[in-house]
Structure formats: C-alpha cells, structure tokens
Amino acid sequence: MDKNVEEFVKQMIYDKDKREVMRQLDEIVDSEILHLYAYNYNWDNGFKIPRKIIHKDCCQLSTALMMFYAADGIRYLQDKSEVNNLKEWSILIKELYNKIINNEFLEGTIKFTPPLSKVQIFKIKKIINANEEVFLKKTGTNDLNIYL
C-alpha cells in the first residue's frame, strides 16, 4: 500500500470530523482506499459512515463481509429473529446482509477470511442456507488489513 494513501486514510480517521469524512467518501472511487478506511473505522462513531461505505459502487464483497463481521453480524447469522434494542445496528446489519445475499457487491482482489474458528464455522453451517454460505467464503489475495 502506498504511504501517501495510508496517510490520506489516517487523516480521514484521526483528523477529520464526520461531515468532512462523509464528503471525502463521496469522492473515493478506489476500493482499496475504501477498504482500508473501513478496516480502521471506529465503530463507536456510529453507523452513518458504514452505511455510506456499503452504498459505494467501489465497495467490494470482501469489504462488505469484513464490515459485517466487524459490526457483530455473526449474531444476526445465528439468530435472525433476535430483536435488538439498537435500531441503527439492526438496520445496518439487515441492509448489509441483504446486499451480500443479493450479490450486490463485486468480487475483487481484496482478501477476506471470515474471522471464525473451525467450531464456529461448523455450528453456523448447520443453521444457514445455501445462499448464506457466502458469509463463510474466503475471497481475494490482496491483504489490506493494515492497522493505521
């Protein structure tokens, strides 16, 4: 990853307010920059920015899956009927889940490996349908999981 790109993403993460980040996200067309930002996103900052990311045309399947797991989407996979008190979380997870299931993200070169143990994978395979196997899929080869 280019050091200038890393510096740009660091500035978005640490030096910009939410409004400025939202504006900069509008201009991003590079899936690698988007992934790097999403990977380093502080989820304590809410769900508005992640929702913006998943609606970008350059958001790849690997980025969507990474965000799904980062937002504790495994809980949703395990029990879709669970009522959650966090309305914004529920909206994001359901929207992300549906976009993934409906193949709305392009597969690209960015690497993703589900952050699950063999036991978790075994248990989840027992409760998901064939369409949901995408959540257990490894994708890409370009590892951009870089902490900034």
**Amino acid identity at 118:** K
Q: Is the pLDDT of residue 81 over 80?
A: no
Residue 107 has pLDDT above 80, yes or no: yes
Return d(Cα 25, Cα 11) in angstroms, integer: 13
pTM exceeds 0.85: yes
Enter the tokens of residue 134: 């995408």
Average pLDDT for the chain = 93
- Integer Cα distance of 84 and 42 in angstroms: 21
Tell me the sheet residues that pair with 110: 142
Integer CA distances (angstroms), 13 to 5, 107, 116, 126, in order: 12, 25, 27, 38
What pLDDT, on a 0 to 100 scale, did the predictor assign at position 37? Answer: 97
pLDDT in tens, 42-71: 999 999 999 999 999 999 999 999 999 999
Domain ranges of the chain: 3-136
